[in-house]
């Protein structure tokens, strides 16, 4: 009997407002066998969130103990709360042959790159800065101060695109999903960060 094939690890990052969450949810709807990795966090759950489904909600003491035990594949402190991906949880799923998806920021992706060099790393960009601002304002949930902060943060985040294997430019959902699926099916050469066409599009976005 042949050995069980280890699963694939997919890392997805993007600046706030680029459309990452929408793309990930649609991808998993179409490919329900993909396992979304549930992170640990020290923040309190929102009303609609379920422990073990959205996050593993733990106290700072528990989280710090896990940090000291090197239990996280990646971790970061964001807006006064800790977030982290359990190394054991991800390894268990991969050993079972599952495809595991992490939705994390570029800093976390860098930590994963150092610990799991075979991960497929995908960075999502908005089609323009103007469209990014339109999407952030269209949410209707943030103050002008918060939106301006997110736009500043997005500018910092976007320059890290070349630390990834692939770039998706989220102009419309259907096109982006097809490109996402092509990457997962090893047909995504058009979205490689080494592609001159992709590099030109990115330069246009960053200088717009």
pLDDT at residue number 208: 74
Q: Find where tokens 């970061």 sit.
A: 76
pLDDT at residue number 18: 87
Distance CA 202, CA 131 (A): 14
At 157, phi and psi to the nearest 5? Answer: -65, -40
pLDDT at residue number 142: 67
- Are 102 and 11 in contact by the 8 Å Cβ rule? The answer is yes
pLDDT at residue number 27: 95
Distance CA 196, CA 168 (A): 14
List the pLDDT tens digit at each of the 208 positions of the chain: 445 789 999 999 998 888 888 899 999 999 999 998 989 999 998 888 899 888 899 999 999 999 999 999 999 887 688 999 999 999 999 999 999 999 998 989 999 999 998 999 999 999 988 888 888 777 666 677 777 877 888 888 899 999 999 999 998 899 999 999 999 999 999 999 999 999 999 999 988 7
pLDDT at residue number 183: 96
- Are 147 and 189 in contact by the 8 Å Cβ rule? The answer is no
pLDDT at residue number 140: 66
| Backbone CA torsion sign across 11, 15, 19, 21 | positive
């Amino acid at each position: 009997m042949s050995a069980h094939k280890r699963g694939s690890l997919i890392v997805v990052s993007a600046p706030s407002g680029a459309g990452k969450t929408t793309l990930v949810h649609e991808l998993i709807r179409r490919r329900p066998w993909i396992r979304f990795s549930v992170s640990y966090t020290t923040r309190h759950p929102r009303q609609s969130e379920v422990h073990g489904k959205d996050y593993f909600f733990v106290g700072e003491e528990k989280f710090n103990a896990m940090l000291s035990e090197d239990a996280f594949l990646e971790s970061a402190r964001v807006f006064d709360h800790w977030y982290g991906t359990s190394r054991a949880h991800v390894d268990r799923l991969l050993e079972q042959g599952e495809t595991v998806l992490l939705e994390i920021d570029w800093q976390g992706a860098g930590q994963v790159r150092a610990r799991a060099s075979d991960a497929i790393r995908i960075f999502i960009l908005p089609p323009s800065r103007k469209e990014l601002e339109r999407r952030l304002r269209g949410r209707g949930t943030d103050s002008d101060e918060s939106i301006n902060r997110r736009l500043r943060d997005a500018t910092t985040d976007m320059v890290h695109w070349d630390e990834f294997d692939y770039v998706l430019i989220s102009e419309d959902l259907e096109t982006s999903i097809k490109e996402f699926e092509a990457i997962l099916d090893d047909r995504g050469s058009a979205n490689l960060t080494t592609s001159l066409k992709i590099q030109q599009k990115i330069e246009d976005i960053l200088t717009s």
